[in-house]
Amino acid sequence: MTELPKVPPVVNNFPDDDIFRLRLFVTGATPNSTRAISNIKEFCETYLKNRYELEIVDVYQQPLIAESEQLIAIPMLIKSSPSPQKKLIGDMSNTDKILRALNLPSRQ
């Protein structure tokens, strides 16, 4: 039986076993919150396919979680993993800003 040649691993900014753990804090079904949810879901499916966990937290329904995170504005995205933790404020429409915050290669 012939042995297949070894293929070198793909080199990128993070190990393949890292999962992006994200929490998006919103305020109910306001237009800004709805936009942020839609934008971050689209971003994750485009740039982090099968490599992310996204939790949507409505601060009206879960005020204790929001309080523990010491939110300064909403909508806010918090990346807890991989380190370091990052926080982004806004409707998540600025793809380049999200890419930089997550330490991903920028669009060319």
The model's pLDDT over 84-98, given as tens digits with 9 standing for 90+, comes to 999 999 999 999 999
For residue range 11-61, list pLDDT tens digits in order: 345 454 589 999 999 999 999 999 999 999 999 999 999 999 999 999 999
pTM for the full predicted model: 0.80
For residue range 99-108, list pLDDT tens digits in order: 999 999 887 6
Residue type, 62: Q
Mind listing the domains of the chain with CATH numbers? Answer: 20-101 (3.40.30.10)
Q: Which of 58, 38, 56 is nearest to 46 (CA)?
A: 38
Checking if the pLDDT of 8 tops 80, the result is: no
Q: Which of 59, 43, 49, 20 is nearest to 93 (CA)?
A: 43
Contacts of 31-34 spanning 24+ positions with Cβ under 8 A: 32/75, 32/91, 33/58, 33/74, 33/75
